[in-house]
Amino acid sequence: MTITIIGIGLMGGSLAITLKENGFAKHIIGVDANNESIDKALRRRIIDEGVGLEEGVNKADIIILSTPMDVMLELLPNILSLIEDQIVMDVGSTKEGLLEIVKNHPKRQNFVATHPMAGTEFSGIEAAVPNLFDNKYTVICDEMDSSEEALYKVKCLYESIPMNIAFLNGKEHDVHAAYVSHISHISSFALALTVLEKERDEERIFELASSGFGSTVRLAKSSPDMWTPIFRQNRDNILDVLDEHINTLARFRSLLIKNDFETFYKLIEEANSIKKILKK
């Protein structure tokens, strides 16, 4: 099986490592607008070959799109127009807009929309690691619009890692992604900015920051190239969650103002129930 990965960064690079290691891919071709990324991927032997887009598409059995969302929206229809019977899948963080763009494409059924729910705050080929996806969930969206063969092969790919598969429609996916991923990033970016603003002149105070602070702002290291297009694509859902999150914070604020620490205690207890859920 020859796999062409378009966008050799954290996600694409990590998939390349994993699929080569487990034998699913015999040959991995990398395509990237950034030559340096291709060079690094070749030197680390993450890819076997770096070529241009058209050659990469022609030579592949499966094409994996793992660029930022804005690039993906442009590339996907072009790639579908280039293929004959190749299978195309994406690993993007938003789905509704992408699915809309290709919904009437004659090769729509060769495409499978997926989102492996894994990542780190780092980006680029330097951040690619083995085991990033092991036993996590991947979402496959609007699977009824993909051919049986395309769906089967993409399922085999994910099961080889192994990953668990969940099926959602594109709209549901984007709502849930806003809640379990996108809002965490906005919260981290905002927290980092709030604290950076305050501590501008007192750098050494960060020496006092413990691992709890580090954990909460970890995602604030995430790349604007990757995340700005996600926020643009999922704007409406994110606005809904952000409004609710601001309301919850405003509720805590109001309890502090009223010195109502009894209700504050109860809200913390409620929040604690996240324990049960995160244990899974």
In the bound complex, what is the minimum distance in angstroms from residue 266's beta carbon to a copy of itself?
8
210 binds a copy of itself (CB under 8 A): yes
217 binds a copy of itself (CB under 8 A): yes
**Choice from 55, 58, 121, 147 touching a copy of itself (CB under 8 A):** 121
275 by Cβ neighbours in 10 Å (0-12 / 13-18 / 19+) ranks as exposed
In the bound complex, what is the minimum distance in angstroms from residue 220's beta carbon to a copy of itself?
5
Q: Determine the Cα–Cα distance for residues 201 and 171; give it in Å rounded to an integer.
A: 45
Stretch that binds a copy of itself, among 54-62, 84-92, 144-152, 268-276 (CB under 8 A): 268-276
Stretch that binds a copy of itself, among 17-25, 40-48, 55-63, 246-254 (CB under 8 A): 246-254
DSSP for residue 44:
T
- Residue closer to a copy of itself by CB (options 35, 210) is 210
In the bound complex, what is the minimum distance in angstroms from residue 142's beta carbon to a copy of itself?
16
Query: Residues 6 or more apart from 277 whose CB is under 8 A from it?
Result: none
256 binds a copy of itself (CB under 8 A): yes
**Choice from 84, 148, 201, 270 touching a copy of itself (CB under 8 A):** 270
246 binds a copy of itself (CB under 8 A): yes
272 binds a copy of itself (CB under 8 A): yes
Strand partners, 167: 140
- Residue closer to a copy of itself by CB (options 47, 140) is 140
Rg (CA), the chain: 21
Stretch that binds a copy of itself, among 6-14, 101-109, 142-150, 250-258 (CB under 8 A): 250-258
Pair type for strands 49-50 and 62-65: unpaired
- Residue closer to a copy of itself by CB (options 58, 120) is 120
Cβ pair 126, 104 in contact under 8 A: no
**Choice from 27, 44, 136, 155 touching a copy of itself (CB under 8 A):** 136
In the bound complex, what is the minimum distance in angstroms from residue 129's beta carbon to a copy of itself?
12
Binders of a copy of itself among residues 177 to 196 (CB under 8 A) are 177, 179-181, 183-196
In the bound complex, what is the minimum distance in angstroms from residue 178's beta carbon to a copy of itself?
9
- Residue closer to a copy of itself by CB (options 118, 128) is 118
Strand partners, 166: 139
Q: Determine the Cα–Cα distance for residues 265 and 192; give it in Å rounded to an integer.
A: 26
Question: Residue-wise over 174-202: b if at least 16 C-beta within 10 A, else e?
Answer: bbbbbeebbbbbbbbbeebeebeeeeeee
